[in-house]
Structure 1
Amino acid sequence: MRVRRFTSLVRQSDEALAAAVMPMVTGTAMRRHDTSSAPPVDSDTKLPLVRFESPDQPAAEPVLSPEATVAVTRLLKERESADKLTAAGLVPIRSVLMSGPPGVGKTMTARWLARQLHLPLYTLDLASVMSSFLGRTGANVRAVLEHAQREPCVLLLDEFDAIAKRRDDDSDVGELKRLVTVILQTIDDWTPMSLLVAATNHGELLDPAVWRRFDMRMNFELPSPALISLAFQAKGVERAMADLLAKLFAGQSMSAVARVVDASRKEHVLHGVKFEQALVNAAMEASQQHGMAVKVLRSAGRDLQVLLHQAQGMPAREIADAIGVSHTTVLRSIKSNA
């Protein structure tokens, strides 16, 4: 922040100097080479305080709601146009707060942002950061924040509510309450060189002042059936089956979709079960464990079996005999899912 103000003042009298300073604000100069300093470690255990992911590692594009897609597009546009914005005395988005239930794509979105910005992703490792020693947790968090402002990166503070709880929570010790104040000040002065992403499953636990500090706030909700279908299709599932599976996964998360697809592929590789059949079996089991109503589960399972047999070229009457339902029921299923 101070560098940005300095740049604005210098530009009035010395354009050359301002141009030299500008890369410090936008981070473009820093992105031309790899980060040089080692990530911070806990002084006692020597364990790294962050998990590192290279910008060269592949990352799948998240399937997001229209609102979240607009927000991500805007963020990327501002970050990629940092030079242009800075020249106009403006600052690109520096910090994002993502809230929503587990498994809806917050971490995946942070990873995707890092890849699109060609920056490494550092994820705060709470297991290493939290310490029973007085003052150590605060020192660890400060070390991570300082490192991320020296080295251009995307810093993900996952489970943000663990370190940014409401300061009126009487169950917390004074150290954590002081840490919230430090975090608030850090967000205010965050360098545009790096992108700060905080993610929480429990937005109601965050200190109220935290919400106001972030440049952008994104709310992730459980995906709609249409988004779940798209998520299955993105993993190679045919649309007709993806639409039926989406009915089974109503109220479930994107991570649940990923789990059943991965489990089905393993079943195919290890035991020779056809992927589509393994996927139907895994989806039925997952939905039953999730508490799907028996009537809905039975109906969706029947439609999926009809689709599987139909894909093999089996006529309706043979499908009816194979799955133990009437010929009329099979025809109705085929018509409703055509």
Structure 2
Amino acid sequence: MEQRAQEELLILFRDAMKVGGAAIEMRLRRFASLIRPSDEALAQAVTPLVSGTRSLRRESPDIAHPVDADTKLPLVRIEHPSATRVPPLLSPALQAEVDRIVHEHRAADRLAAAGLMPVRSVLMSGPPGVGKTMTAGWLAQRLDLPLYTLDLASVMSSFLGKTGANVRSVLNHAQERPCVLLLDEFDSIAKRRDDDTDVGELKRLVTVILQTIDDWSPTSLLVAATNHGELLDPAVWRRFDVTLPFEMPALEQRAALLHSREVAAPLAEAVAAVTEGQPLSALSRAVDVARKQALLEERGFEEALITWAASSAPQSTRAARTTSKGRRDLDIYLHHCRGLSAREIAELVGTSHMTVVRVLKRLKGEVDAGA
């Protein structure tokens, strides 16, 4: 490109950046990426115009957040980074993906200089209580960005056309400045378009969402979470840069959660061994309930927690687990908490006196060897 034309083009780009907007910034980043193979000098000249935009935007004054035009209720819930946020307990594979997303966003300027963009959109799917919402909050914490959560109660409207307008307002707002936008219960606004039970407005909204994901600003991170991935429109899965499948926590994750809630390691491992199929949220609630019972009912915390664990297994598998080593060990400890002697426990459980003694010592942290 001749020198004069290039100078005019750069002036145009500078004027556009003064106006601002995530769409303009994204287009300039894409332009630099596309032009680089044929005109490296022009790409190098454009890149500084968009690099560093993240910090400049974050320092700008706060703008009004979107509200429903009729009710004036806010359409997003806002959480600012907090040092008290607890990191999620993820599988090694999920943790590696989360770390990669953070690393790319922290190196956004380096990627832009090479004509690349960080991960812009993440779709998390899995059963309730496995840490999807917590992971979105942790991403915002590590990126030092506010977390915007779409408030479905305010967004969903009985008036034709209002739901779509509200969602579009939130999507546009989240791209005005760096943030992490969480679309929780994503299946409620991105259902399959062949679902005959939905009105035309929501079907049109899916198309808008797909277009928005394609053009999402690299300065913000879009995170969608669903408990029902099978309800999502098939095209949605292809649009996200990263998909994170969450599963029920493994034994190691369950034990780590209990230990992080100040349950002694031997007991945490024993409880974790018999709570397969329980989400981390259920384990955390069980610890809270056990502590309340210990305070209000003058009951031992360990006894309350073990009682919950013994009854938490699904009915279809409880019979099989009754004879398992893990369930036996908890039964032994539960009887001990209720004041029975080792010999009485041995007779009830159907094992030897020495086995009872070894199990109790291990669960109380007095020895490491198993029974």
TM range (shorter): 0.7 to 0.9
CA distance in structure 2 between the partners assigned to 1:65 and 1:97 by the alignment: 17
Dislocated runs of 4+, deviation >4 Å:
6-11, 14-17, 297-302, 307-312
1:73 aligned residue: 99
C-alpha contact (below 8 Å) 2:261/2:287 kept by paired residues? yes
Residue 173 in structure 1 maps to residue 236 in structure 2: no
What letter corresponds to residue 98 of structure 2 in structure 1?
Answer: V
Q: Indicate how the Cα distance of structure 1 residues 322 and 166 shifts in structure 2: closer, same or farther if over 3 A, else same.
A: same
Tell me whether 146-155 or 9-18 shows the greater mean CA deviation: 9-18
Residue 238 in structure 1 maps to residue 261 in structure 2: no
CA distance in structure 1 between the partners assigned to 2:93 and 2:168 by the alignment: 33
- RMSD over equivalenced CA pairs, Å: 2.8
1:321 aligned residue: 344
1:195 aligned residue: 221
1:130 aligned residue: 156
Pairing partner for 1:36 from 56, 62, 71: 62
C-alpha contact (below 8 Å) 2:306/2:330 kept by paired residues? yes
| Residue 67 of structure 1: how far off its partner (Å) | 1.4
TM-score by length of 2: 0.80
| Residue 267 of structure 1: how far off its partner (Å) | 2.5
Q: What is the 5 A alignment of 1:1-338?
A: 1-8=26-33, 12-13=41-42, 18-24=47-53, 27-31=54-58, 33=59, 36-56=62-82, 58-287=84-313, 292-294=317-319, 296-297=321-322, 300-307=326-333, 318-321=341-344, 324-325=348-349, 328=352, 331=355, 334=359, 337=370
Q: Indicate how the Cα distance of structure 1 residues 320 and 109 shifts in structure 2: closer, same or farther if over 3 A, else same.
A: farther
CA distance in structure 1 between the partners assigned to 2:135 and 2:61 by the alignment: 22
CA distance in structure 1 between the partners assigned to 2:98 and 2:337 by the alignment: 38
Q: Indicate how the Cα distance of structure 1 residues 325 and 56 shifts in structure 2: closer, same or farther if over 3 A, else same.
A: closer
Q: Indicate how the Cα distance of structure 1 residues 270 and 151 shifts in structure 2: closer, same or farther if over 3 A, else same.
A: farther
Q: What is the DSSP-based 3-state SS (H/G/I as helix, E as strand, rest coil) of the residue aligned with 1:156?
A: strand
Q: What is the DSSP-based 3-state SS (H/G/I as helix, E as strand, rest coil) of the residue aligned with 1:143?
A: helix
Structure 2: gaps spanning 5 or more residues: 1-25, 363-368
C-alpha contact (below 8 Å) 2:140/2:146 kept by paired residues? yes
Q: Indicate how the Cα distance of structure 1 residues 257 and 11 shifts in structure 2: closer, same or farther if over 3 A, else same.
A: farther
**Structure with max Cα Rg:** 2
Q: What is the DSSP-based 3-state SS (H/G/I as helix, E as strand, rest coil) of the residue aligned with 1:293?
A: helix
| Residue 94 of structure 1: how far off its partner (Å) | 0.7
TM-score by length of 1: 0.88
C-alpha contact (below 8 Å) 2:29/2:47 kept by paired residues? no
Identity of aligned residues (%): 53
Structure 1: gaps spanning 5 or more residues: none
Tell me whether 62-71 or 177-186 shows the greater mean CA deviation: 62-71
CA distance in structure 2 between the partners assigned to 1:127 and 1:291 by the alignment: 36
Aligned length in residues: 331
Q: What is the DSSP-based 3-state SS (H/G/I as helix, E as strand, rest coil) of the residue aligned with 1:12?
A: helix
C-alpha contact (below 8 Å) 1:260/1:282 kept by paired residues? yes
Q: Indicate how the Cα distance of structure 1 residues 234 and 179 shifts in structure 2: closer, same or farther if over 3 A, else same.
A: same
